[in-house]
Structure 1
Amino acid sequence: MANYEREAIGHLQEAVKKANYTGWFGGNKLDEAAELYAKAANSFKLAKKWQEAGDAYISQANVMKKLNETDEAASSYLNASKCYKKTNPLDAINALQKAVEILVERGRFQSAASNQKQIAEIYENEIIDPEKTLHAYELAADWYTTEESNAQANACWLKVAHYAAQLEQYQRAIEKFEAVAEASKDNSLTRWSLRTYFLNAGICRLCTGDLVATQGAIDRYLQMDTTFSTAREYSFLKALFDACEANDTEAFTAAIIDFDKITKLDPWKTSLLLKVKNSLANDEQDFT
């Protein structure tokens, strides 16, 4: 390990000299500097010095930009992000963002979307920031849509919907769930997921407290998918709606327990349903 690290430091020192070199007639040695930064990064990786390896790749990217080699600069930023992921999520995001900026400028929206999705996943799984997660997935979805990569776009839109609901942006969540359902209804591979999208959108509608709009939405779901009327998701949503309309917390709780016996509710649904239940309980207290 120590040998690899010493080797990396030697490459790095030489790279700095080459990067700052200016000849008598304005010549430079930036190409050599870029190669040496790459060698330094590789040696740091062998020494498992991930932060230092990422920093070396960033230096290489900066040199590549001076050489107007933007595609190579983007690759260097992506290499840096892979190193930073092992030690510093925020640095990984910063490196990815710089790569994404270049990819967008170059019109490479598919690659931009893929790397933007990685940013979203870091915010989602490591930094745990719902707002930034939502925004990152939204950008990725937009770029996937631009490239007509509909399956990837819809996967990101569903993430946007989940986080929007978590942040109590219910209308935004409803729009995304229903848009994905609309895009999926004529696809034999994705049509089976409609009942899940309808249930999720319906729960978000119950969170808004607008029962008239919720009833209208349920009617539309039944028209969009004739098999929805026989699905457990429909029976569950209808039972929840009826309990809300009757302002009956006991019936609401019973519907949840009954559904959960066969289909385990995930934490996302459980959290939203608890909000609806608490709202019903408060309405009952106000009424009495």
Structure 2
Amino acid sequence: MSEDPKLLLKQASEKAKPVTGFFWKLISSPEDQYEEAIDLYVQAAKIYRLGNGKVSKDYIKSAECYKDAAMVALERLQNYNDAAMNYIEAYKLCKMGDEYSNACDYLQKAIDIFTKNMGQFRRAANYQFELGEILELQLHQTKQAREAYELAGDWYLQDNAIQLSNKCYLRCADLLSVSYENNDDLFKSIKMYKNLIDTNLKKNLNLWVVKDYYLKIGLLQLLLTDTVASERTLAEAKTNLRDDQDCKEFKLLQALIDCYKEQDIDLMSNTLMKYDKFDKLDSWKTTILLKIKESLIGTEEDDLL
């Protein structure tokens, strides 16, 4: 095997060309030729991936080689599995090289093959969730990340992978509620948390997290200035989780409802400070509570006009 990836790529490019002419088809198998092209692309990819005495390690060039291998497998051989897996390798290498935009493109191509060409939605769901994470954490494309998480959840649910679908829907709901653009987004988040509660109660799964989902719903209802709905949520929570009626989540929600009804910002601040000393508020709750506090400040300023 040559240790010069450029030579390997040149050979691969020649073998990847369509086989034309009756004579050449008689003496040569097009399929074998295309398989050789794929092997050559992969050989070059491995050299770029590891580097050697003559070539420096280059994850992005390695990814491009895998991409070329995927295209030959897809377009010349209709070998969907090989095409998808070569795109996955290209995605991994781009991620290693901090090329997250290209990583998403390659990952999306693999997902499309798994779903549209192979009908393997459960397999695709794993990568769809990874796509959501890159969109959220690396590219900060919040809307696209939410859509990726929700779609992954749908595919897991189709396969009855309840816990995995719940994980996806939770990420979607959390992201939607902290980046909401209007009240409809908050209502959709609340609906998603309610669905998570129903699923967990019916399946008797992870009941300890249900308390947190109820708290999140109650907080979002306060953000919507609907203390009546928040009180109903708390009452429902205590009914469904009778053994946890005095849990810290329900006590906090009751205290915040009282603060909101009294329009007492100082009392709310003190309540949260005391709670945070014993149970650190996570980033989601901190974000939503700040928005609730801002809405109270706005109300207070309106009263002064």
**Which TM-score tier does this pair reach, normalised by the shorter chain?**
over 0.9
Match of 2:104 in 1: 93
Match of 2:224 in 1: 208
Amino acid at match of 2:36: E
2:38 corresponds to which of 30, 34, 37: 34
Deviation at 1:187, TM superposition (A): 4.8
CA contact (8 A) 1:185 1:225 kept: no
Query: Relative to 1, partners in 2 of residues 1:21 and 1:184: Cα closer, same or farther, differing over 3 Å?
Result: closer
SS of 1:265's partner is coil
Deviation at 1:156, TM superposition (A): 0.8
Amino acid at match of 2:103: A
TM-score (ref. length: structure 1):
0.94
Q: Does 1:74 align with 2:84?
A: yes
Aligned positions of 1:159-170 closer than 5 A:
159-168=171-180, 169-170=185-186
The gaps in structure 2 that reach 5 residues or longer are 52-56
1:7 corresponds to which of 4, 7, 11: 4
CA contact (8 A) 2:91 2:102 kept: yes
Amino acid at match of 1:33: A
Aligned positions of 1:1-288 closer than 5 A:
7-20=4-17, 22-25=19-22, 27=25, 28=30, 29-47=33-51, 48-66=57-75, 67-87=77-97, 88-105=99-116, 106-168=118-180, 169-187=185-203, 190-288=206-304
SS of 2:119's partner is coil
Deviation at 1:267, TM superposition (A): 2.0
Amino acid at match of 1:235: K
CA contact (8 A) 1:33 1:60 kept: yes
Amino acid at match of 1:94: D
Amino acid at match of 1:263: D
CA contact (8 A) 2:217 2:230 kept: no
Deviation at 1:13, TM superposition (A): 0.7
Determine the C-alpha separation between the residues in 1 that align with 2:142 and 2:217.
19
Match of 2:54 in 1: none
Deviation at 1:177, TM superposition (A): 1.6
Amino acid at match of 2:283: P
Identical positions, percent? 28
Determine the C-alpha separation between the residues in 1 that align with 2:244 and 2:186.
22
Determine the C-alpha separation between the residues in 2 that align with 1:227 and 1:206.
25
Deviation at 1:212, TM superposition (A): 2.0
Determine the C-alpha separation between the residues in 2 that align with 1:257 and 1:186.
35
Deviation at 1:101, TM superposition (A): 0.5
SS of 2:39's partner is helix
Deviation at 1:10, TM superposition (A): 1.4
